[in-house]
């Protein structure tokens, strides 16, 4: 049976990350343009091969911090394994562990010359199966925005409700009501007023109050009822 201890070889393992950020009102992903074959000229996700002494989480963080200057990732989580035998054209066969990474919208990390942000809704030609990975990342983000407080990873430390509304709208792809957003997040105990206000815009208007997310880690905000243990129990739930 499964022994987990023997030799076959021929299978490489790489880690990839779809790093998402809301920029100028749209959800974008960090891609770099391949110079060499295969798929020269196409756009690929940052990442690289797994080293013998690191686990996949450590590896993707190293690759992102090292090759692309992205220290300020607010969140990183496993997405899925992509393992179609022909996902890279030539041998050796490469299995990829894909990650979702999120960057707050108030930073603009320096990136190498071959690297750029692209709208998720309008991807350039992508290398290998990276296009599919980006879509999976977007879907995961959208789902989790609804039932977790993952939004904190897209927002600056302090923000106005309307700025947050713009973030959610961009990530989700449809309009959201600022009123409702604030009330929902507040009642879940995720939103907290800082007491300060932002300067009002060039066309006047009431100055907006600044909020921050409360440090609640990454909790599932009450998935459903069906049967709720009176008021307790909440393991990782995770992905």
Partner DNA sequence: CGGGTTTTCGACTTAGGATCGAAAACATGG
Partner DNA sequence: CCATGTTTTCGATCCTAAGTCGAAAACCCG
Q: In the range 206-225, which residues lie near DNA by CB under 7 A?
A: 206-209, 222, 224-225
Segment interacting with its own copies (CB under 8 A) among 56-64, 155-163, 191-199, 205-213: 56-64
* Shortest separation between residue 188's beta carbon and DNA, angstroms: 6
Q: Which is nearer to DNA, 12 or 106 (CB)?
A: 106
For the bound state, the minimum distance from the C-beta of residue 202 to its own copies, rounded and expressed in Å, comes to 27
Residue 227 is a binding residue for DNA (CB under 7 A): yes
217: left (phi over 0), alpha (psi -120 to 50) or beta: left
Could you say whether residue 201 binds DNA (CB under 7 A)? yes
Q: Quick count: other Cβ atoms within 10 Å of Cβ 30?
A: 24
Angle (nearest 5°) at CA 140 between 170 and 182: 50
Letters for 133-172 (x = contact with DNA by CB under 7 A, - = none) are: ---------------------------xxx----------
Q: What is the CA radius of gyration of the chain?
A: 20
Strands 191-197 and 47-49, how do they pair?
A: unpaired
Is the Cβ of residue 201 or residue 223 nearer to its own copies in the bound state?
A: 223
Contact of 123 with 117, CB cutoff 8 Å:
no
With CA atoms as reference, report the closest residue to 168 among 157, 156, 155.
Answer: 155
Per CB under 7 A, the list member of 177, 189, 234, 239 interacting with DNA is 177
Binding mask 93-132 for its own copies (x = CB under 8 A): xxxxx----------------x-------------x----
Contact 32, 68 (CB under 8 A): yes
Residue 170 binding result from its own copies, DNA, none, given CB thresholds of 5 to 8 Å by partner type: none
Tokens of 209: 């109050």
* Number of Cβ atoms within 10 Å of the Cβ of 226: 5
Alpha helices (runs of H) in the chain, residue ranges in sequence order: 56-67, 130-147, 161-172, 178-187
- Kindly tell me which of 139 and 177 has the beta carbon lying closer to DNA: 177
Which of its own copies, DNA, none does 173 bind, CB closer than 5 to 8 A by kind? its own copies
128 or 152: CB nearest DNA: 152
């Amino acid at each position: 049976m499964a022994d987990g201890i023997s030799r076959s070889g021929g299978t490489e393992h790489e880690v990839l990350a779809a790093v998402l950020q809301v920029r100028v009102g749209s959800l974008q992903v960090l891609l770099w343009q391949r110079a060499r074959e295969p798929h020269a000229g196409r756009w690929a996700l940052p990442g690289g091969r797994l080293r013998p002494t690191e686990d996949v989480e450590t590896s993707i963080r190293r690759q992102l911090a090292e090759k692309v200057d992205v220290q300020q990732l607010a969140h990183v989580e496993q997405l899925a394994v992509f393992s179609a035998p022909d996902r890279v054209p030539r041998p050796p066969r490469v299995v990829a562990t894909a990650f979702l990474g999120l960057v707050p919208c108030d930073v603009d990390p320096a990136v190498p010359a071959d690297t750029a942000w692209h709208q998720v809704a309008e991807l350039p030609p992508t290398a290998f199966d990276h296009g599919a990975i980006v879509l999976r990342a977007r879907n995961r983000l959208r789902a989790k925005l609804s039932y977790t407080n993952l939004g904190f990873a897209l927002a600056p430390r302090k923000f106005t409700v309307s700025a947050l509304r713009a973030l959610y709208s961009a990530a989700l792809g449809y309009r959201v009501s600022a009123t409702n957003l604030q009330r929902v997040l507040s009642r879940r105990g995720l939103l907290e007023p800082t007491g300060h206000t932002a300067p009002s815009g060039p066309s006047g208007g009431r100055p907006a109050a600044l909020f921050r997310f409360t440090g609640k880690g990454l909790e599932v905000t009450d998935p459903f009822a069906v049967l709720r243990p009176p008021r307790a129990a909440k393991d990782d739930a995770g992905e």
